Amino acid sequence: MRSDVKRRHARWAGVALITGLAIAGCGSTDDKGAESDEPVKATHCGTGQGTTMELRATNDFPNPTAYVIQLYWFNGEGRQVEMGQMTTDAIQPGKSLTFNVTGRRPGDATVRTCEVKVLGAE
């Protein structure tokens, strides 16, 4: 009876070890592959003449495609200070488009980071 209990504990310890290693390998910040899967990326974020963001959109679809995107600007404390939504121009298959977006600058908020979320493709 005791050997059965020991075997079960050893088996669960092995399962826990394998699961822990699998989880540790997922979502690593060094994983550049996941980053390249996004069709629209913010390549620059700044506060020149207002809040600005440089974007690069790539079309991996077989037809000309435009993306509906949501834009976010955050201050040094991580609070959202600006948000907008837009649709890119149609991009030819296999091509990329780089463009700048300028938003309002609410008060004296200093923009530190920018993010983009793709809502859909048209």
Highest mean pLDDT out of 14-18, 28-32, 108-112: 108-112
Indicate if the alpha-carbon torsion angle 61, 100, 46, 78 is positive or negative: negative
- Confirm if 51 and 104 have CB atoms less than 8 A apart: yes
Q: 40: which 2 tokens?
A: 């629209």
Q: What is the band of 103 on the pLDDT scale with cuts at 50, 70, 90? A: confident
Q: Which residues contact 109 (CB under 8 A, 6 or more apart)?
A: 75, 81, 82
| Residue 19, pLDDT above cutoff 90 | no
Q: What is the band of 108 on the pLDDT scale with cuts at 50, 70, 90? A: low
Q: What is the pLDDT of residues 21-69, one digit of tens each?
A: 333 332 222 333 334 478 999 999 887 667 889 999 999 999 999 999 9
Calpha distance 74→114 (Å, rounded): 6
pTM: 0.65
